[in-house]
Structure 1
Amino acid sequence: MKRSGYMAPEYALEGVFSVKSDVFSFGVLLLKILSGMKNTGFYQSSSLNLLGYAWDLWISSRPLELMDIVMKDSSCANAAIRYINIALLCVQEHAADRPTMSEVVLMLSNELTSLPSPKKPAFSNVRSMVDSIPNPSHWKPETCSENELTISDMDAR
């Protein structure tokens, strides 16, 4: 199963939609807006995706390195760090740890609201199928037929 970059872990792994699944998606979107990067296909660092990259920068006290060059402005550094903190709170692995959307709105609209420290985000250490293959250039997908041709028969329910 390919995991969508916006899919909450409880839905992607168990098919269970929670009231905090939308919060997860919002957090991913906020990180994408702040960084100007896609969530997947992260090859410029040891991080596997945007969530892992943001987390690595956060725990090494370098969150501003995440910001898109267009959005970097030293006068807005505190706001940028606050938004990154909020985004990381939204993408925490366990739904119970994530804020509700109303809490997110409060955090975004009221700078005096204190923010808790985020826990490690979901999917921050998940490798893709290609990354887990020792030598991807020699890998060939397994076929289920002798002539490498398959036929799908579609039946109505």
Structure 2
Amino acid sequence: MYSWLKKYDSEWLKQNYRRVKTVVNPVDWNKRDAELLPLVREVVSEMKEGKPKRITWTTIGSKLGISGWLSKRKEKLPLTKAYIESELESLEEYHIRKIKLAIEELERQGKEITLWNLAETAGVKPRYMKVISKEIRDTLREKGYNYIFSNKQL
């Protein structure tokens, strides 16, 4: 309708068309940063305790219901940004955390700790386990296991 009026009756349109003026409310980013930091700490703590979920800007934002703007506005949130960046996990770190939790779960269930039991319980694909095989061995040694994985298994 607007296009038709603009083309055929632009004079009437100029006299009668009213643009909606939007009011922009300024944001106090320091205040928002201070309010957001405790919420982010709580979410990260829950993510570490519960079912493993990789700690990223997106997962934190989605848990808080603000994933749309959290990572886009991180430069305006220095305290929150510093905390999140100290807690971010690489894919390998995430898989190692899942493996450690899987070892604890297998111990709780009284099951034998084998490579395949670990992979199944942790939900880590064997191709990723190859990348973190040294860390898996170290973790098992710390727990008192002498299980030796051959290169064919990994």
TM class, shorter-chain normalised? under 0.3
By relative contact order (CA 8 Å, sep 6+), the higher-ranking structure is: 1
Larger Rg: 2
